[in-house]
């Protein structure tokens, strides 16, 4: 299986959105891009660790492509809003694509150009495209949070 990591605000809703698509074999929520080893949710939500809430997606590239995943990513959130998704404000809620190799980087950058050019959003996309660093899985009670709690909306607890 191939892997992709996306940050698009509160990770609970992003995970639930990605899970709906055929070819996605696994999702895990966690933290990436910060300066603290093994951060906790309580630490990350302060915005002081530098981490983004993110979703690691494992997928079968013979069923769904990385390009399709990036399109799904742009459908999950507002990529024109810097460090904010809805009521969630801070660098930990940034729009970011964490690439694993030059091919993923290229596809992500091309998709940003494509989405900007087609004018879906009223403002330019501000999504960061950055090399993957260590992904720390969130605590188990955050995995599949919306499924476990019967929620249909994302919020910060």
CATH of the domain at 116: 3.30.1060.10
Check whether 61 has a pLDDT greater than 60.
Answer: yes
**Position 114 in a domain:** yes
**Position 155 in a domain:** no
Q: Could you say which of 10, 57, 70, 146 is catalytic?
A: 10
Percent of the chain with pLDDT over 90: 89
Tell me, what's the pLDDT at 154? 61
**Structural domains of the chain, count:** 1
**Position 156 in a domain:** no
The answer to whether residue 154 is catalytic is no
Tell me, what's the pLDDT at 146? 84
Give the integer Cα–Cα distance in Å for 126 and 149.
32
Asked if 41 contacts 53 with a C-beta cutoff of 8 angstroms, the reply is no
Mean pLDDT of 96-115: 98
Give the integer Cα–Cα distance in Å for 105 and 130.
8
At 30, the pLDDT band (50, 70, 90 cuts) reads: very high
Q: For 80-116, b where at least 16 C-beta lie within 10 A, e where not — what string?
A: bbebebeebebbbbbbbbbbeeeebbebbeebbeebe
**The residue to which tokens 């694509």 are assigned:** 97
Range of the domain at 136: 2-149
At 152, the pLDDT band (50, 70, 90 cuts) reads: low
DSSP states along the chain: -EEEEEEESSHHHHHHHHTTSTTEEEEEEEEES-SSSS--HHHHTTT-S--EEEEEEEE-TTTS-HHHHHHHHHHHS-TTSTTEETTEESGGG-EEEEESSHHHHHHHHHHHHHHHHHT-SSS----EEEE--PEEEPPGGGTTHHHHHT-SS----
**Position 157 in a domain:** no
């Amino acid at each position: 299986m191939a892997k992709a990591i996306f940050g698009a605000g509160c990770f609970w809703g992003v995970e639930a959105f990605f899970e709906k698509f055929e070819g996605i074999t696994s999702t895990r929520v966690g933290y990436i891009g910060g300066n603290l080893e093994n951060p906790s949710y309580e630490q990350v939500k302060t915005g002081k660790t530098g981490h983004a809430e993110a979703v690691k997606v494992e997928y079968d590239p013979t069923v769904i492509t990385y390009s399709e995943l990036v399109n799904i990513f742009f459908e999950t959130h507002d990529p024109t809003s810097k460090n904010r998704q809805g009521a969630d404000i801070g660098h930990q809620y940034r729009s970011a694509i964490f690439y694993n190799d030059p091919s993923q980087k290229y596809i992500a950058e091309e998709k940003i150009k494509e989405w900007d050019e087609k004018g879906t959003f009223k403002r330019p996309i501000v999504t960061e495209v950055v090399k993957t660093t260590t992904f720390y899985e969130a605590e188990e009670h955050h995995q599949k949070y919306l499924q476990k709690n019967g929620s249909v909306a994302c919020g910060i607890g």
